[in-house]
């Protein structure tokens, strides 16, 4: 009875195999993959049919291409903000370094610019208190003006402040006339309008304005004489303000250089990233017992 049952089962299997033919059906794992032939091994056939999760799908050249860093983009980002291109290229220490340098440079530039502003206010206030256009014009008209005050009517006016007590147009005409004479040859400039940058520059720069300082009133002066002590001190204070402004400008210039250096470095860093060692995880179908099995693959790539 057992022998008969065994023979019956064997006959059924043989018939089933004959009906199936010599070539069992195949399925496609994914587009472009070779057909998967069922091997009869359930574990292998199930793996081949269903594949691995999407995160293990085999990497493609396009996916790797997407990982590249553009040197042009990296450089452009760092031109705008030093360190931004390095951040884009994955170099975070360089990002911090360039940003720190940029911040420090602008802080120092602002600090010295403000010191220059305060120093400017200081020396201008000193000039307003100790240099008088009335004193300057009076000495000039009494000692150098051709024809004296009679040739320059309206030179002096009524006003609550010294700079309101002199007609600037008449004063400038008189200065030009004096410059044409031999004694007044050092009258090289006309006094600019009050409270302008040139006004405060010239009164402490040229000998012709020496007699406007209040510590030389009643004293004669000719070209080559020692300048007023107030004039010399004032020149030093102006020089200090200019030093502060020059220092601020230097920090700004260095900050601009920092943009350029960071841009070049960012482009090089992006290129280095593209040439670096990169890892990727994927899957690959391999033959097994007449079929294909998807197995995980870990790849190391040098360059892109």
For 225-245, the pLDDT digits (tens) are: 999 999 999 999 999 999 999
Q: How many CB atoms lie within 10 A of CB 221?
A: 16
What pLDDT is stored for residue 290 in this prediction? 59
Under a CB-based contact definition with an 8 Å cutoff, are residues 84 and 98 in contact? no
Under a CB-based contact definition with an 8 Å cutoff, are residues 152 and 174 in contact? yes
Least confident of 21-25, 32-36, 145-149: 21-25
d(C-alpha 116, C-alpha 109), whole Å: 11
How does residue 274 score in pLDDT terms, banded at 50, 70 and 90? confident
Q: Which two tokens stand for residue 5?
A: 């049952």
Under a CB-based contact definition with an 8 Å cutoff, are residues 157 and 165 in contact? yes
The label of the residue with tokens 């594949």 reads 51
Under a CB-based contact definition with an 8 Å cutoff, are residues 191 and 172 in contact? yes
What pLDDT is stored for residue 283 in this prediction? 65
d(C-alpha 32, C-alpha 30), whole Å: 6
Q: What is the pLDDT of residues 65-86, one digit of tens each?
A: 557 899 999 999 999 999 999 9
Q: Apex CA 183: angle with CA 179 and CA 186, to 5°?
A: 50
More confident residue, 131 or 63: 131
pLDDT at 252 over 80: yes
- CA distances to 88, 151, 171, 188, 219 from 181, in Å: 70, 15, 16, 11, 21
CA-wise closest residue to 207 among 130, 126, 140, 122: 140
* Across 13-35, average pLDDT: 44
Q: What is the pLDDT of residues 163-197, one digit of tens each?
A: 999 999 999 999 999 999 999 999 999 999 999 99
Q: How many CB atoms lie within 10 A of CB 61?
A: 8
Q: Which two tokens stand for residue 181?
A: 């004479």
d(C-alpha 263, C-alpha 275), whole Å: 19
Q: Which two tokens stand for residue 271?
A: 């290129």
Under a CB-based contact definition with an 8 Å cutoff, are residues 283 and 298 in contact? no
DSSP codes of every residue in 166-210: B-HHHHHHHHHHHHTSSTTTT---PPPPTTSHHHHHHTTT-GGGG
d(C-alpha 145, C-alpha 224), whole Å: 19
What pLDDT is stored for residue 11 in this prediction? 43
């Amino acid at each position: 009875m057992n022998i008969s049952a065994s023979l019956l089962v064997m006959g059924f299997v043989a018939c089933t195999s004959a009906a199936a033919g010599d070539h069992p059906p195949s399925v496609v794992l994914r587009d472009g993959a070779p057909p998967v032939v069922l091997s009869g091994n359930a574990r292998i056939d199930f793996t081949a049919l269903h594949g691995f999760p999407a995160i293990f799908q085999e990497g493609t050249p396009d996916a790797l291409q997407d990982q590249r860093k553009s040197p042009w983009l990296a450089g452009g980002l760092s031109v705008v903000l030093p360190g931004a291109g390095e951040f884009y290229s994955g170099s975070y220490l360089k990002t911090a370094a360039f940003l720190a340098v940029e911040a420090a440079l602008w802080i120092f530039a602002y600090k010295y610019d403000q010191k220059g502003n305060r120093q400017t206010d200081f020396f201008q206030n000193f000039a307003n208190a100790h240099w008088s256009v009335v004193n300057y014009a009076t000495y000039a008209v009494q000692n150098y003006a051709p024809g004296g005050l009679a040739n320059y009517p309206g030179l002096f006016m009524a006003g609550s402040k010294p700079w309101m007590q002199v007609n600037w147009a008449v004063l400038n005409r008189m200065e030009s006339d004096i410059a044409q004479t031999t004694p007044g040859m050092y009258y090289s400039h006309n006094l600019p309008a009050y409270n302008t940058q040139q006004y405060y520059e010239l009164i402490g720069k040229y000998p012709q304005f020496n007699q406007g300082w209040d510590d030389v009133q009643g004293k004669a002066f000719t070209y080559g004489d020692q300048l007023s002590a107030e004039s010399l001190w004032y020149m030093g204070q102006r020089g200090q303000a200019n030093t502060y402004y020059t220092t601020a400008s230097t920090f700004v210039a260095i900050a601009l250089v920092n943009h350029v250096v960071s841009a070049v470095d960012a482009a090089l860093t992006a290129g280095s990233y593209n040439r670096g060692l990169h890892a990727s995880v994927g899957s690959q179908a391999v033959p097994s017992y007449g079929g294909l099995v998807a197995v995980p693959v870990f790849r190391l790539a040098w360059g892109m």
